[in-house]
């Protein structure tokens, strides 16, 4: 989500690298670039000013540690400042009231309120076992209430029956009554989109908040939003007591400056991020993760979380055990392909791994796409179990048979074999380096090993990840090597911050 | 004329905050005879705050810097320079959406990211063409979002125009195919095709869009005659990425910007005009059906620069 910003900062600090000392001129030069990068990323101007000032102050005259370059030192300072700006920790919904706890969704038209409503309801039901009722107060947009009803059917969440002609405040009252009588834990009020300069609709929103006294009022903001994000946040905040922000469309390629400004300007926590069209595509917003991503370190934690959710524990244990012995056969490779498709395909993965932006671009340019995974799977599928366990059996004759069976060419089969070899030897290397612990954690050891800002561990895992989890062609692509161009010593430096 | 003043009010009203910002900064600094680098920085920042983007803002700053010597320009002078600069960029791309396809129908494909205002814009476009006495038909190509078809149906009913729909979750290209056949058979002048919102970095969804285009071309090689990309005025610099990708995949022929009645400045249009030169057909300045206006470069430039009506 913040690819371009990290590219930009990456460029700046590459230039800074290799110099002996961190002097004022260096810092100022870097900060000019940081400023433009942040502005291009749609970070609000006042926030940019504060940020640049603060970071410059901290960076000039900062002690450069022996083991890092000046550029790396600046990266750390920028990273820390970004984390601070985004808010230091995660913030969850506070629903600790006598039920029904009321959540009210507000925002501009088209920011994604209705979809977010359904996503939050689904999440509360699935993860916390809450009984949720959704009610649409949108009497303006045609079929808006039907949209929520449809989403309710899809997610198996109850929605308030639609009564044509009823006004928002009355719908809210009816919804509260229904939630109380039918014993719902949570009531989510989805309101109409409104421009913050539209007095009448802002009054209506105020009135709804007054009668329903929501426990949470979530302002839904499109992460594509430009400089206007700040006006929006301020205006909504003036009329209702916004308790948190939801940033939608974080799966887009916007540089996501809105995420940075929102927090700094409003002081409200960003509680969730919408990351896709599917109704489970919502995540808790993790400030330190996002800051890491801005700096080009990739969304490692996000990748791990998704991996642990998707990868079946058994498979992961099996793989880890095999790898511990230095074994890695075609079945394992196939398993990885399948897990990759489950995790959202190559594109989604590449977006999360540091240093993969260039690889992703090369991939797109070369016409590589998720079909590749299917093709590779087909090739392995055309092998006999023996061949899968012992790929060294594959001679020319067998290769021709496999190629025919899978509808691919012998070259494709060769490519797959070569990739398998590379990966197998990478596995051995990892074993020698003793990085297996991190790797095992990555494949199913749960979040424990990776969370808590244990960036060093995460980076170690990353060294294992690229050869282990990526398709052919990646090996030779630029920017792949050492965990995204950030040397491990820096990763350790970052992980040591207090 | 009073109706005209109404929408301008909204446009300028919404932009007041921008303008206020720009003039406020300028007013504070032009009492001096010459502008210093720091003052120019302020002007540049004000432009950036209008979503013009750092590059475009720097360009305008350079213009002002170049013209400042010995003139001792006042606030109005600076505002005028900003307006002229912006208008000069916007004027060449101002071009209304004309209906002139023969043989009929003229097929207009409306695309954009989620929530940019496609469906509402379609209703407004249909209204516009009905006022010009063209026969209009709608095609509900957004088979993905819940109740999107219903939303367009409501509009079709209100406008009294025929609509072609398919099942929710069905194949959008199929709906479009049927619609073109029907519109051709019935001698409809304008067929406006709604599509599902999609983020431009979603490959599969962009492929689907390319498919819709192909299907349209199969029935009528000239179709779609227009591919209109709907941009939300609150969008920041990402609008440029949207234009670039949609242009590549779907061959965008023109832009419509919605939600200009808010405080969003839509300054990104200036950068877009400079970078892509795509025609800007219209702007949306409100929620009612007749709130879609032909794009007027001078008006928008004046609004951005903080001028009065």
- Assign A453 a pLDDT band (cuts: 50, 70, 90): very low
For residue range A94-104, what is the model confidence (pLDDT) as tens digits?
898 999 999 99
CA distances (Å), B50 to each of A477, B53, B112, B237, in order? 39, 8, 22, 11
Average the pLDDT over A475-481 and give the result. Answer: 27
Residues A202 and A210: their CA atoms lie apart, in Å, by 12
- Assign A469 a pLDDT band (cuts: 50, 70, 90): very low
Considering only B14-23, B154-163, B171-180, B284-293, which range has the smallest mean pLDDT? B14-23
% of chain B with per-residue pLDDT over 70: 84
* Residue A11 pLDDT: 64
For residue range A483-498, what is the model confidence (pLDDT) as tens digits?
333 333 333 333 433 3
Average the pLDDT over A214-239 and give the result. Answer: 90
For residue range B100-138, what is the model confidence (pLDDT) as tens digits?
878 889 999 999 999 899 999 999 999 999 999 999 999
Are A144 and B147 an interchain contact pair (Cβ–Cβ within 8 Å)? yes
* Residue A148 pLDDT: 95
Average the pLDDT over A449-472 and give the result. Answer: 32
Determine the residue among A224, A357, A368 to mutate to test chain B binding: the one whose Cβ has the most chain B Cβ atoms within 10 Å: A224
Are A224 and B238 an interchain contact pair (Cβ–Cβ within 8 Å)? yes
A202, pLDDT greater than 80 = yes
- More confident: A380 or B29: A380
For residue range A352-397, what is the model confidence (pLDDT) as tens digits?
554 445 555 555 555 556 677 788 888 998 999 889 888 888 899 9
DSSP state of B115: T
- More confident: B20 or B119: B119
B113 CA: distance to closest CA in chain A (Å): 9
Average the pLDDT over B221-249 and give the result. Answer: 93
* Residue A420 pLDDT: 83
- More confident: A43 or A10: A43
A191, pLDDT greater than 60 = yes
The answer to whether residue A147 neighbours chain B at the CB level (below 8 Å) is: yes
Collect all residues with Cβ–Cβ distance below 8 Å to A330 and sequence separation of at least 6. A380, A383, A387, A388, A389, A391, A420
For residue range A260-306, what is the model confidence (pLDDT) as tens digits?
888 888 888 899 999 888 899 998 887 776 666 555 454 444 454 45
Prediction ipTM score: 0.82
Nearest to A45 among B48, B114, B259 (CB): B48
Are A108 and B154 an interchain contact pair (Cβ–Cβ within 8 Å)? no
- More confident: A454 or B136: B136
The answer to whether residue A253 neighbours chain B at the CB level (below 8 Å) is: yes
* Residue A460 pLDDT: 32
- Assign A250 a pLDDT band (cuts: 50, 70, 90): confident
* Residue B13 pLDDT: 56
Contacts of A148 in chain B (CB under 8 A): 146
* Residue A462 pLDDT: 34
- More confident: A462 or B24: B24
A169, pLDDT greater than 70 = yes
Report chain A's terminal Cα–Cα distance, integer Å.
27
* Residue A320 pLDDT: 67
Kindly report the CA angle at B55 between B54 and B60, in degrees rounded to 5?
95
* Residue A472 pLDDT: 32
- More confident: A62 or A461: A62
Are A252 and B259 an interchain contact pair (Cβ–Cβ within 8 Å)? no
Nearest to B199 among A109, A249, A258 (CB): A249
* Residue B17 pLDDT: 42
* Residue A466 pLDDT: 35
Annotated binding site of B: 112-119, 194-198, 258-261
* Residue A467 pLDDT: 33
For residue range B32-75, what is the model confidence (pLDDT) as tens digits?
545 677 778 877 887 888 888 888 889 888 877 776 555 566 77
For residue range A426-444, what is the model confidence (pLDDT) as tens digits?
767 666 654 444 444 444 3
For residue range A401-413, what is the model confidence (pLDDT) as tens digits?
999 999 989 998 9
For residue range A70-94, what is the model confidence (pLDDT) as tens digits?
666 676 777 778 878 887 667 889 8
Kindly report the CA angle at B301 between B90 and B273, in degrees rounded to 5?
25
CA distances (Å), A498 to each of A88, A286, A290, B165, in order? 12, 18, 18, 59
For residue range B241-298, what is the model confidence (pLDDT) as tens digits?
899 999 999 999 999 999 988 777 788 999 999 999 999 999 998 888 989 989 999 9
Nearest to B114 among A112, A149, A151 (CB): A112
Interface A:B, Cβ pairs < 8 A: 146
Are A242 and A106 in contact, with CB atoms under 8 Å apart? yes
Are B262 and A197 an interchain contact pair (Cβ–Cβ within 8 Å)? yes
- Assign A23 a pLDDT band (cuts: 50, 70, 90): confident
The answer to whether residue A177 neighbours chain B at the CB level (below 8 Å) is: no
B1, pLDDT greater than 70 = no
Helix, strand, coil percent values for chain B (each to nearest 5): 50, 15, 35
SS (H, E, C) chain A: CCHHHHHHHHHHHHHHCCCCCCCHHHHHHHHHHHHHHHHHCCCCHHHHHHHHHHHHHHHCCCCCCCCCCHHHHHHHHHHHHHHHHHCCCCCCCCCCCCCCEEEEEEECCCCCHHHHHHHHHHHHHHHHCCCEEEEECCCCCCCHHHHHHHHHHHHCCEECCCCCCCCHHHHHHHHHHHHHHCCCCEEEEECCCCCCCCHHHHHHHHHHHHHHCCCEEEEEEECCECCCHHHHHHHHHHHCCCCEEEEECCCCCCCCHHHHHHHHHHCCCEEEEECCCCCCCEEECCHHHHHHHHCCCCCHHHHHHHHHHHCCHHHHHHHHHHHHCCCCCHHHHHHHHHHHHHCCHHHHHHHHCCCHHHHHHHHHHCCCCCHHHHHHHHHHHCCCHHHHHCHHHCCHHHHHHHHHHHCCCHHHHHHHHHHHHHHHHHHHHHHHHCCHHHHHHHCCCCCCCCCCCCHHHHHHHHHHHHHHHCCCCCCCCCCCCCCCCCCHHHHHHHHCCC
* Residue A317 pLDDT: 67
Burial string for B15-27 (b: 16+ CB within 10 Å, else e) reads: bebbbebbbebbe
Q: List A residues 294-313 in contact with B (Cβ-Cβ < 8 A).
A: none
Are B154 and A142 an interchain contact pair (Cβ–Cβ within 8 Å)? yes
* Residue A211 pLDDT: 95
């Amino acid at each position: 989500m913040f690819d371009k910003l990290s590219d930009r900062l990456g460029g700046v600090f590459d230039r800074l690298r290799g110099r002996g000392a961190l002097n004022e001129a260096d810092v100022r030069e870097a900060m000019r670039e940081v400023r433009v990068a942040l502005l291009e990323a749609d970070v609000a101007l006042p926030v940019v000013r504060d940020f640049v000032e603060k970071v410059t102050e901290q960076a000039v005259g900062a002690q450069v540690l022996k083991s890092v370059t000046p550029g790396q030192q600046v990266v750390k300072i920028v990273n820390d400042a970004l984390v601070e700006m985004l808010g230091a920790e995660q913030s969850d919904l506070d629903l600790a009231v006598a039920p029904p706890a009321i959540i009210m969704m507000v925002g501009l038209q088209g920011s994604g309120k209705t979809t977010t409503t359904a996503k939050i309801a689904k999440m509360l039901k699935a993860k916390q076992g809450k009984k949720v009722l959704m009610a649409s107060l949108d009497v303006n947009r045609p079929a808006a209430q039907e949209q929520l009803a449809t989403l309710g059917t899809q997610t198996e969440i109850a929605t308030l029956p639609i009564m044509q002609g009823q006004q928002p405040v009355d719908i809210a009252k009816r919804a509260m009554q229904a939630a109380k009588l039918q014993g719902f834990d949570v009531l989510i009020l989805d309101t109409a989109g409104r421009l913050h300069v539209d007095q009448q609709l802002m009054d209506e929103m105020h009135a709804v908040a007054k009668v329903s006294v929501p426990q949470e009022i979530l302002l839904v903001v499109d992460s594509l939003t430009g400089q206007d994000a700040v006006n929006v946040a301020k205006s909504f905040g003036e009329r209702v007591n916004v308790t948190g922000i939801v940033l939608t469309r974080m799966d887009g390629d916007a540089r996501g400056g809105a995420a940075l400004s929102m927090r700094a300007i409003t002081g409200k926590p960003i509680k969730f991020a919408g990351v896709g069209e599917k109704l489970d595509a919502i995540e808790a917003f993790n400030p330190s993760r996002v800051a890491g991503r801005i700096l080009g370190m990739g969304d490692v934690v996000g990748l791990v979380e998704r991996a642990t959710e998707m990868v079946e524990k058994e498979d992961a244990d099996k793989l880890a055990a095999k790898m511990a012995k230095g074994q890695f056969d075609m079945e394992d490779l196939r398993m990885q392909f399948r897990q990759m498709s489950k995790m959202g395909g190559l594109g989604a993965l590449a977006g999360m791994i540091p240093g993969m932006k260039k690889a992703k671009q090369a991939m797109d340019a070369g016409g590589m796409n998720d079909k590749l995974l299917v093709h590779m799977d087909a090739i392995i599928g055309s092998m006999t179990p023996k061949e899968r366990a012992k790929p060294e059996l594959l001679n020319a004759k067998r290769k021709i048979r496999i190629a025919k069976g899978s509808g691919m060419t012998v070259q494709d089969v060769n490519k797959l074999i070569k990739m398998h070899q590379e990966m197998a030897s990478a596995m051995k290397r990892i074993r020698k380096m003793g990085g297996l612990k991190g790797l095992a954690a990555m494949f199913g050891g749960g979040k424990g090993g990776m969370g808590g800002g244990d960036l060093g561990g995460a980076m170690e895992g990353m060294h294992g990840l690229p050869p282990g989890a990526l398709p052919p062609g990646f090996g030779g692509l630029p920017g792949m090597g050492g965990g995204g161009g950030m040397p491990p010593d820096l990763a350790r430096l970052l992980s040591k911050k207090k | 004329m009073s109706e005209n003043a109404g929408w301008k009010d909204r446009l300028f009203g919404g932009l007041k905050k921008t303008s206020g910002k720009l003039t406020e900064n300028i007013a504070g600094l032009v009492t001096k005879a010459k502008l210093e680098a720091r003052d120019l920085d302020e002007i540049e920042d004000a432009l950036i705050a209008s979503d013009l983007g750092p590059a475009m803002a720097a360009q305008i700053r350079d213009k002002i810097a170049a013209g400042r010597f010995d003139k001792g320009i006042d606030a109005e002078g600076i505002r005028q320079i900003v307006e002229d600069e912006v208008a000069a960029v916007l004027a060449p791309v101002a071009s209304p959406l004309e209906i002139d396809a023969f043989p009929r129908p003229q097929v207009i494909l409306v695309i954009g990211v989620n929530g940019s205002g496609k469906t509402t814009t379609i209703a407004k476009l249909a209204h516009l063409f009905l006022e010009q006495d063209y026969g209009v038909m709608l095609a509900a190509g957004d088979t993905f979002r819940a109740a999107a078809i219903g939303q367009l149906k409501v509009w079709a009913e209100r406008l009294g125009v025929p609509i072609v729909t398919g099942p929710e979750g069905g194949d959008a290209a199929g709906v479009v195919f049927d619609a073109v056949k029907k519109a051709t058979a019935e001698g409809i002048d304008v067929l406006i095709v709604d599509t599902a919102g999609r983020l431009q970095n979603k490959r599969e969804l962009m492929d689907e869009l390319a498919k819709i285009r192909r299907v349209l071309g199969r029935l009528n090689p000239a179709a779609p005659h227009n591919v209109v990309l709907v941009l939300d005025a609150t969008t920041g610099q990402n609008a440029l990425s949207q234009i670039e990708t949609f242009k590549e995949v779907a061959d965008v022929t023109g832009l419509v910007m919605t939600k200009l009645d808010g405080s969003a400045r839509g300054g990104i249009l200036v950068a877009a005009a400079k970078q892509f030169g795509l025609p800007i057909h219209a702007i949306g300045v409100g929620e009612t059906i007749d709130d879609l206006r032909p794009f007027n470069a001078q008006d928008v430039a004046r609004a951005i620069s903080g001028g009065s009506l």
